[in-house]
């Protein structure tokens, strides 16, 4: 999710979707990510178990959730036809070129950097959503937005400065960065963080604090610090931020789908519902359990299909399993860069 997520705030309500949803979104996702991350450090077997939980329950379903935003009916498929049908082969060619030129090390390096940017953009968008939900807010909060970018940038420089050789057991070749550069970025980030904290305290004392926005920014800083700065192992750190990102994405897409379907059902124009079959596909989006079940099942099918296809193409002499999985990941990043931008007409 990128800049300016499409969230229509409820009138005179500081919540995204009520207290229960916001508490789950702000505290549940962070708590589960940190808990599973801690469990993963206990033993290699526990690490493998947590990774499998992340892949099957969070990561693959969160990719599927993207397509519930842009391909849930004929109108949206027609609108996003290039993203759905033309962009995947383009991404496949580019990923294959990276694999040919830099092998697995190049793919994992590109993935780690792209994932860092992708997660940061999601946090940027969600912070703006919380900002818009506040009836007292006027315009964007530039200080908070700068901080959202500064901490991951510092974290990425820190990882480059420590120069890890492996990521998930595969080579990674991050750019060479001196510790002095990383430390300078850290000092700048901490100074901005101190100024931001001082401003939050002042707003709280005057009764103007946007608690949801403040807590979300704080959660972003906490998870980033743990994943990139506190946890010494790059893979274990990545696992924490990946779980957090996937959980938030699943929840936020569900919220957006609920709002979209509510808007559709409240209008007399039924052009987006073409057949009873498509109506039945929309219905699960109105129920969290059915929505998550659909994402889980389709995510598992997608993951297995990519793995089987990759194994069948191994005779090409390329890491085809990784190429196919990275293709869908990078396609998901690019699609999010388009479908989550605020438009004059509702998506």
pLDDT digits (tens, 9 = 90+) for 72-101: 778 888 888 999 999 999 999 999 999 999
pLDDT of residue 211: 92
Split at pLDDT 50, 70, 90, the class of 198 is very high
Q: What is the pLDDT of residues 210-237, one digit of tens each?
A: 999 999 999 999 999 999 999 999 999 9
Mean pLDDT of 134-138: 77
Split at pLDDT 50, 70, 90, the class of 63 is very high
pLDDT of residue 75: 82
Whether the pLDDT of residue 10 is over 70: the answer is no
Distance CA 4, CA 281 (A): 27
Q: What percent of the chain has pLDDT over 70?
A: 86
Residue from 70, 61, 213 nearest 135 by CA: 213
Mean pLDDT of 146-175: 97
Distance CA 230, CA 236 (A): 11
**Rg for the chain (alpha carbons), in Å?**
21
pLDDT of residue 46: 97
Give the count of beta carbons closer than 10 Å to the beta carbon of residue 95.
24
Please work out, in degrees rounded to the nearest 5, the angle formed at the alpha carbon of residue 75 by the alpha carbons of 71 and 78.
Answer: 75
Mean pLDDT of 174-196: 97
Residue from 242, 129, 233, 106 nearest 175 by CA: 106
pLDDT of residue 13: 54
Instruction: Give whichever of 54-68, 255-269, 329-343 has the largest mean pLDDT.
Output: 54-68
pLDDT of residue 267: 57
| Phi and psi torsions of 321, nearest 5° | -60, -45
pLDDT of residue 197: 97
82: which residues sit within 8 A by CB, 6+ positions away? none
pLDDT of residue 140: 82
Split at pLDDT 50, 70, 90, the class of 38 is very high
Distance CA 324, CA 345 (A): 34
Distance CA 197, CA 270 (A): 48
Q: What is the pLDDT of residues 241-271, one digit of tens each?
A: 999 999 999 999 998 888 776 666 655 444 4
pTM for the predicted model, two decimal places: 0.88
């Amino acid at each position: 999710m990128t800049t300016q997520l499409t969230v229509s705030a409820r009138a005179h309500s500081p919540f995204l979707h009520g207290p229960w949803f916001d508490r789950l979104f702000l505290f549940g996702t962070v708590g589960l990510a940190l808990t599973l991350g801690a469990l993963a450090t206990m033993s290699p077997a526990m690490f493998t178990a947590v990774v499998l939980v992340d892949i099957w329950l969070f990561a693959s379903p969160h990719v599927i959730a993207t397509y519930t935003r842009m391909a849930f009916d004929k109108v949206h498929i027609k609108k996003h036809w290039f993203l759905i049908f033309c962009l995947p082969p383009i991404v496949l060619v580019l990923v294959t070129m990276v694999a040919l030129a830099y092998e697995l090390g190049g793919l994992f390096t590109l993935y780690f950097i792209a994932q860092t940017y992708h997660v940061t953009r999601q946090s940027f968008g969600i912070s703006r959503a919380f900002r818009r939900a506040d009836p007292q807010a006027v315009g964007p909060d530039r200080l908070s937005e700068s901080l959202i970018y500064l901490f991951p940038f510092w974290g990425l420089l820190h990882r480059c400065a420590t120069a890890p050789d492996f990521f998930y057991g595969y080579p990674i070749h991050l750019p060479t960065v001196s510790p002095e550069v990383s430390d300078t970025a850290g000092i700048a980030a901490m100074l901005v963080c101190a100024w931001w904290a001082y401003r939050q305290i002042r707003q709280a004392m005057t009764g103007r604090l946007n608690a949801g926005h403040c807590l979300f920014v704080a959660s972003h800083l906490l998870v980033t610090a743990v994943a990139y700065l506190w946890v010494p192992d790059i893979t274990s750190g990545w696992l924490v931020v990946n779980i957090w990102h996937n959980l938030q994405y699943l929840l936020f897409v569900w919220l957006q789908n609920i709002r979209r379907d509510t808007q559709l059902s409240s209008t007399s124009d039924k052009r987006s519902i073409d057949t009873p079959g498509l109506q039945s596909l929309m219905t699960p989006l109105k129920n969290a359990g059915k929505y998550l079940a659909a994402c889980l099942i389709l995510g598992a099918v997608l993951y297995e299909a990519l793995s089987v296809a990759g194994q069948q193409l191994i005779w090409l002499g390329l890491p085809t399993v990784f190429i196919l999985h990275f293709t869908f990941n990078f396609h998901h990043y690019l699609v999010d860069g388009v479908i989550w931008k605020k438009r004059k007409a509702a998506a």
